[in-house]
Amino acid sequence: MAPVATGEVLSAREYADIERATKRAGDPAGLTFSVLFATADGEPRLYAERAHNSLPEPSRSVLIFVDAAARRVEVVTGATAERHIDDRAAQLAVLAMTAGFPIGGLAGGVIDGLRMLGQYGDRPPVQHTDTP
CA-based nearest residue to 36, from 67, 11, 71: 67
- So what's the pLDDT on residue 78? 96
- So what's the pLDDT on residue 127? 58
SS3 119: helix
pLDDT band at 131 (very low <50, low <70, confident <90, very high): low
* Model confidence pLDDT, tens digit, residues 59-94: 999 999 999 878 899 999 999 999 899 999 999 999
**For 99-125, what is the mean pLDDT?**
84
- So what's the pLDDT on residue 8? 52
- So what's the pLDDT on residue 114? 95
Domains along the chain? 4-121 (3.10.310.50)
- So what's the pLDDT on residue 45? 95
Report pTM. 0.85
Residue of 120 and 117 predicted with greater confidence: 117
* Model confidence pLDDT, tens digit, residues 21-58: 999 998 888 999 999 999 998 999 999 999 999 999 99
DSSP sequence for 28-64:
TTT-EEEEEE---SSSHHHHHHHHHHTSSSGGGEEEE
